[in-house]
Every structure is written in C-alpha cells, then in structure tokens.
Structure 1
Amino acid sequence: MLAADAAHAADICRSRHRGDANSNAAFEQHSEQFQTSRELVYLKLCRHPLGMTAKELAAHFGVPLHSISGRISELKLAGRVGCTGDRRERSAVVIALNPNKDLLAAVLPRVEMTAEVR
C-alpha cells in the first residue's frame, strides 16, 4: 500500500456509524472499489489543472454526487487534493495537489477514464 493510500484505509464515516457491524462490513466489502474510484477521480483532476467541482466529476463519471463527495473527502484527508477557494455553480473547485508528472505520464495512458466509479 502506498503511503498516500494509508490514509484511505480508514473509513472516513466511522464516527457516524459508531462501530456498527453492518457498516464496518459494508466498508470492507467496498474498500477496493473505493480505492479504484479515488484513483480515477484523482487522475481526472490531474488532467484538469484549473480544477473541477464534485458536480462536474459526478456528471463526467455518470454517478450520484454522494459517490464522488466521499472519494474527494478521502483524497483531501490524504493530502492529494485541495479546494482552490473558487466556486462554480455553488460548488467548491477541487484541484490535484502536487501531481507527479512523470508518474502520471506512465499511468494515464493505461487508465480507462470511463471506468465505473462507485
């Protein structure tokens, strides 16, 4: 696991479900999908240096807003994305922080940006 992904290993909603066994099981069941979705969101933001809003990302991937907002929260927690302070259509603009261009050059051609985000 990458150091940046270590922050993603924890459930960001843990305090909301207070150790509920069903919630913990659901998180474990979907954690791999969340990791893939996080990477797709991050790579999409890397391709848009002026940033995107959660609404724009949700529309791009064809998923509900809550699917994207969770991934953005996880990426913020890991220090991989941040808000610019700008707003578009009443939504915060999010950008990728310190994208490693050499890594992206190797990764982007292999990533299918239309993959399913959950």
Structure 2
Amino acid sequence: MASEESHNIKPPSEQSTTELIASAKLVAEAAQSALKRESDKVDKAKLADAAGDLLDAAGKYAKLDDKQGIGQYVDKAADYLHNYQGGGGGAPSQPAESKGEESGGGGGGGGLGGLANLAGGFFKK
C-alpha cells in the first residue's frame, strides 16, 4: 500500500536516534571498506543517503539556518547526497548557481566545495 511506503520515508526532523546511529554505522563501514581498497563492495546510493541523513541531523541539531551561512551549504550537500543515484551515471548534476558558490568564492563557506569534491571522488571509484 502506498500509505505504508510513505511512512517508511521520514523527514530528517523525525528520524530516530536509532536510525541515525544505523546511518553512522553504514558510513563508518564504508570508510573501513575504502581503507581496505574494497569500496566496490559498498552500495554507494545507500551510503550517500545515509550520509545525507547525517548531514540533515547535524543541521537540525546545530540549528543551522538553511537560507544563509554554513547552513545553506549543509542543506545543499544533504540534498545532493539524497539525490545520488549510484551506478555508473555519476552524481546528480549541480545547478549552475551552486557551482560558483561551492568553488570557494565569497561567503566563507568554500571549504564545503572541497568536501563535495572529495565525496564525489569516492563515489566515482
């Protein structure tokens, strides 16, 4: 039933601590696999979604404003990870306005652009 499926997908504000711990565990296991050069065994779409969940929770618990400051970059990164499809198609394309913002120009949030590039490099392996 469609109503049962919609209950399985929770907004970030309603995720339980148990679900966040499971996401953190998945990300940690993927990091261990990468260190062992076994990153091909990782479900990258599931990993991206788990990392997005963690970013959403970090933004919520830190009470970051998703319209300004670093909160907007955390929000964009979480959305990017939630929309990751996996497979050989690569990551979702970025809107033109976000490409310039993440390159480090202005606003003091340029460090996250490097983080996004690092994450993108992991998913391409």
Q: Which structure shows the bigger proportion of residues in helix conformation?
A: 2
**Alignment TM-score, normalising by the size of structure 1:** 0.31
- Give the structure with higher Rg (CA): 2
**Alignment TM-score, normalising by the size of structure 2:** 0.30
Q: Which structure shows the bigger proportion of residues in strand conformation?
A: 1
